[in-house]
Amino acid sequence: MNTDSAKLPPDLFRAMAYASFSAVLLLTGYDFARVSAASLFITHYGSKNMIYAMAAAPLCIAALVYAYGRALSALGSRRAMLGSYLVSAAVFISLYGAIKSGFTAACILLYIFAEAYIVVLVEQFWSFFNSKLTPAQARTWNGPITGVAALGPIAGDLFTKHYADRVGTEQFALLTGLILIPAGLLFLRSFALAGEPQPPREEAGGAMGHLHLDLLGRIRTLKLVAIIICLSQMVAVAANLHVYDELAVTIPTLDGRTAYMAGLWFWVQLSGTAFQFGLAPLALRTLGPGPVMLAVPLLNIASAAWLILSPGLPSAAFALITFKVLDYSVFRAAKETFYLPLSYDARFRAKQVIDSFLNRFSKGATAGAIALVRDAAGLASPILLPLACLGASAVWLGAAKSLCYPGKSAQALAQQDEEQPTPAN
């Protein structure tokens, strides 16, 4: 294979297309779950208590990541993927039934599970892509892949925005479960076309551990990516909570909040899609991943500063949109290229630990820390949350610089990362 060519062979192109259409359905369902779960939680427990549900989410994600690791060892990536989709579908359908029967605590479980399941399923796409694409192909196609996937949430946001009042918020939990079934079958077709990624003999069957945690201690690239993921989620939590606080004050009705949040996510997905198809491949081909990884925290610093200077729901929504648009497009496309030279376990197991567990753990830990500061110190959220966005973005910038522009000794360690055993596709 010519690793300098961005062209995809026909079977690989079709496999990527099936996977992307699977992601359309998956993310449409997630959009239904995210909006309905948040709105139901606010209705029954209030926006101030949402941080406690966020703090509990890491327990769920830890269980899901470990279960996926066990399934990966026993079944391989193809059957582990299908099983994870079907189990998730069953959970959503069961929670819908519980909510409809009047068990309001199911709203808490719905919110927590919606926070957890999506990262485990989404990262399986990227483990698959990172096992099949060359660096040149990834720089060209990572953006459009995420762009196609974003078409689903755009449709989902429009549907939710216009039909939440008529359909009812609870019904979207059921739709989330049902849509996971065809999504899993489409992804299964991708494996049939491109082949199931295989581990080297020393990593087969989970021989180095179902999670292979020591990779995070040995490989510098993974350590820095993990730090960046944690910092980015600190920004995400602070921005999300600030929007929820402003939303609870500005729009008091359940279906009104659901419609507003659907509209907000529509603009996130629409803007993100434009970036994914246009800016992401252009920036990665012309600038490379390094400048992109630095630009993202810089832009988040700017939006956090504006949020401090001009508080309110419009500026809070803008800060969240800025973070999410960059996160869904150029940041994701650039970050994934750092996994390409690494081994099977790094791409499948360590990636789940970093991009699923640490992603949600840092989110939950940040929510818990904010709750502690609010309760113990009585700090008002209008200044606390924007300051958290600003501070985390500044540290994120430093970590990105270390990852993309290391000193000579760090460059030697990075070279060792690339020499880790990588199986044939």
Looking at 25-29, 93-97, 356-360, 414-418, which range is the least confident one?
414-418
pTM of the model: 0.78
- Can you give the pLDDT at residue 270? 78
Does residue 390 surpass a pLDDT of 60?
yes
CA 388 to CA 365: how far, in whole Å?
A: 13
Calculate the CA 254 to chain-centre distance. Answer: 26
Give domain status of residue 424, yes or no: no
Give domain status of residue 172, yes or no: yes
More reliable by pLDDT, 348 or 205: 348
Calculate the CA 79 to chain-centre distance. Answer: 22
CA 195 to CA 193: how far, in whole Å?
A: 6
Q: Under a CB-based contact definition with an 8 Å cutoff, are residues 56 and 221 in contact? A: no
Give domain status of residue 2, yes or no: no
Give domain status of residue 33, yes or no: yes
Q: What is the pLDDT of residues 189-201, one digit of tens each?
A: 999 999 999 988 8
Does residue 344 surpass a pLDDT of 60?
yes
Q: Under a CB-based contact definition with an 8 Å cutoff, are residues 320 and 386 in contact? A: no
Q: How many domains does the chain have?
A: 1
Give domain status of residue 101, yes or no: yes
Q: Under a CB-based contact definition with an 8 Å cutoff, are residues 242 and 372 in contact? A: no
Q: What is the pLDDT of residues 237-275, one digit of tens each?
A: 888 888 888 888 888 777 787 788 878 877 887 788 788
pLDDT above 70 coverage of the chain, percent: 92
* Domain CATH number, residue 110: 1.20.1250.20
268-272, 307-311, 398-402 — most confident range: 398-402
Burial 411-424 (b: 16+ CB within 10 A, else e): eeebeebeebebbe
- Can you give the pLDDT at residue 416? 52
Does residue 4 surpass a pLDDT of 90?
no
Instruction: Specify the residue for token string 């790094």.
Output: 346
Q: Under a CB-based contact definition with an 8 Å cutoff, are residues 43 and 255 in contact? A: no
- Can you give the pLDDT at residue 418? 46
Q: State the average pLDDT for the chain.
A: 85
- What is the identity of the amino acid at 227? I
Give domain status of residue 89, yes or no: yes
CA 330 to CA 363: how far, in whole Å?
A: 21
* CA dihedral sign, ordered 268, 270, 274, 277: positive
More reliable by pLDDT, 197 or 211: 197
* CA dihedral sign, ordered 200, 204, 210, 212: negative
CA 143 to CA 206: how far, in whole Å?
A: 31
- Can you give the pLDDT at residue 259? 80
Mean pLDDT, rounded, for 350-371: 85
Kindly state the tokens that stand for 190: 């991708």
Q: Under a CB-based contact definition with an 8 Å cutoff, are residues 215 and 346 in contact? A: yes
Give domain status of residue 227, yes or no: yes
Burial 161-175 (b: 16+ CB within 10 A, else e): beebeeeebbbbbbb
Give domain status of residue 3, yes or no: no
More reliable by pLDDT, 210 or 69: 69
Does residue 3 surpass a pLDDT of 70?
no
Instruction: Specify the residue for token string 């350590």.
Output: 223
3-state secondary structure 188-203: HHHHHHHCCCCCCHHH
Q: Which domain holds residue 382?
A: 10-418
Mean pLDDT, rounded, for 321-337: 88
